[in-house]
Amino acid sequence: MTTTRRGRGEGSIYQRHDHPTCPPLVDGERAEHKCKGRYVATISYGSDGTKRDRKPLYGKTKGEVSDKLKAALKKAPPKNAREGEKHTVKTWMNEWLEDIASAPPKPIRKSTKKSHRSKIDQYIVPLIGMHRLDRLEAKHIRRMYVRMQEPCPTPDPKTGKCHHSPSHGLSESTARQTHVILARALKVAVREKLILEAETSNVDAPGTKTTERDRLTVAQAKLVLAAGADNPLISRWYAALQMGFRQSEVLGLPWGLVNFEENTVTIARTLEDDGTFGVPKSDAGNRTVVMFPEFRAHLMAHYGAYLARCHENGTEPDPMACVWSQDNGRPIGHKTDWNRWAAFLKASGVDHHALHSARQTTASWLEELGWPERVAAEFLGHADVKQTYKYQRGDSLGAQRRAMGELES
């Protein structure tokens, strides 16, 4: 049987042979007996260099002493955890994000840092940031999640919207993302010996309802692409709907990673929100994929136009130049690209759909073509095939009918 050792300074529990019925020691040994002695926990507060600072806690049962020990540790943690007294939740969240999560060797992405900063500043700091780090309790965290998701008590009478800060009525997804960020920061605080336990482990994470993102069907996508064949950026929309590239992957793609001879595109560079270049968010995102014939044809035409501009300007083609760029050669911003997508759909007579949902359309397209899920996952840059499966949830009845038709034929 394996046992779990307590950490340094976390105290120990044992039973004393101090009951009148306990037999005495004989030659250093004690006869076996059913001991009725008291249980004792010894909590250590470190040493001043000459002697150890300890305190005993007594009880009739092991459970009683264990509860006393937990309470004592919360009220006065050992010296190796007292650094937590220097921090509030606010100061620690800021230090964790700026000095630990963003530091080498594995700093978080700029876009991830921006998202974390938003959740920390909007929800964590206003709602629990005032608590001392070593005195943060599970109930404080639970109250934060309730406050985030409860309906606004006094919405604006005209608009019906919440005018408080932080807002009420936030989604389960927002609360869950906030929980993940807080849990990561507190886990590091435990590792740094600032606190003994991450209180997020004592709180149920907010649930997240699975809702299917509104997206174009494969048939709609084909009609939209056909209707927009004359659009000067048609290759960019094929990249979204047929190739399933993420927006940051499209906007950061250089010509040097397009190989027309091998008919491949390599995704290894992305465009960050601040206009700088980065790398895909995961190893799976860094990938080489084969081009669909339609996408390749439109991309070759787009490349021909790029070469013509270079010739007209008397410049050499730059392999690091963005495939889709502004007239001055600089990368296209995310918001500009999003506005062009909205205009493209409107011109095609289709209701607006989120640009990122185009990847789900691609996943369904690959499913219709009969691609195995693992191959589809690698094509889309998914680290987990389960994510691809979620993306492919579309015309299930249609797929079943096609399968049945093949069995009958």
What's residue 31's pLDDT? Answer: 86
Are 242 and 236 a contacting pair, CB within 8 Å?
no
CATH architecture of the domain 85-155+162-202 equals Orthogonal Bundle (1.10)
Which residues have C-beta within 8 Å of that of residue 54, sequence separation ≥ 6?
42, 43, 44, 45
1-5, 269-273, 289-293: the lowest-pLDDT one? 1-5
Please list the alpha-helical segments (H only) found in 76-137: 89-95, 110-119, 125-128
Query: In angstroms, what CA-CA distances link 13 with 43, 57, 59?
Result: 9, 9, 10
pLDDT tens figures, 254-265: 999 999 999 999
- CA distance linking residue 78 with residue 44, whole number of Å: 7
- CA distance linking residue 238 with residue 292, whole number of Å: 9
pLDDT tens figures, 189-218: 999 888 888 999 889 988 765 555 678 999
> How sure is the predictor about 398, in pLDDT bands with cuts at 50, 70 and 90?
low
- Whether pLDDT at 305 is above 90: yes
What's residue 84's pLDDT? Answer: 54
Are 248 and 355 a contacting pair, CB within 8 Å?
no
Are 214 and 221 a contacting pair, CB within 8 Å?
no
Query: In angstroms, what CA-CA distances link 194 with 83, 107, 116, 135, 187?
Result: 5, 22, 21, 11, 10
Altogether, the residues listed in the chain come to a count of 409
Average pLDDT over the chain, rounded to whole?
86
What's residue 394's pLDDT? Answer: 54
Strands in 226-362 per DSSP E = 258-259, 264-267, 270-271, 277-278, 287-290
pLDDT tens figures, 62-75: 888 888 888 877 66
Are 281 and 217 a contacting pair, CB within 8 Å?
no
What's residue 30's pLDDT? Answer: 85
- Whether pLDDT at 376 is above 80: yes
- CA distance linking residue 64 with residue 56, whole number of Å: 13
**120-142 average pLDDT score:** 94
Strands in 50-180 per DSSP E = 52-59
- Whether pLDDT at 1 is above 60: no
Query: In angstroms, what CA-CA distances link 37 with 34, 58, 59?
Result: 9, 10, 9
- CA distance linking residue 278 with residue 111, whole number of Å: 10
Parse the chain into domains and list their residue ranges.
12-76, 85-155+162-202, 218-400
Closest CA to 96 of 116, 77, 82: 116
- CA distance linking residue 375 with residue 367, whole number of Å: 10
pLDDT greater at residue 181 or residue 398: 181
pLDDT tens figures, 309-353: 999 999 999 999 999 999 888 999 999 999 999 999 999 888 889
CATH architecture of the domain 218-400 equals Orthogonal Bundle (1.10)
**pLDDT over 90 percentage in the chain:** 56
Helical axes 172-191 vs 138-149, angle rounded to 10°: 160
Query: In angstroms, what CA-CA distances link 223 with 214, 261, 322, 351?
Result: 17, 29, 28, 13
- Whether pLDDT at 274 is above 70: yes
Helix (H, G, I), strand (E, B) or coil at 380: helix
What's residue 317's pLDDT? Answer: 94
> How sure is the predictor about 44, in pLDDT bands with cuts at 50, 70 and 90?
low
Which residues have C-beta within 8 Å of that of residue 102, sequence separation ≥ 6?
108, 113
| Ramachandran region, residue 381 (left: φ > 0; alpha: ψ -120 to 50; beta: rest) | left
What's residue 110's pLDDT? Answer: 86
What's residue 207's pLDDT? Answer: 78
28-37, 88-97, 337-346: the lowest-pLDDT one? 28-37
What's residue 243's pLDDT? Answer: 97
- Whether pLDDT at 85 is above 80: no
95-109, 156-170, 241-255: range with highest mean pLDDT: 241-255
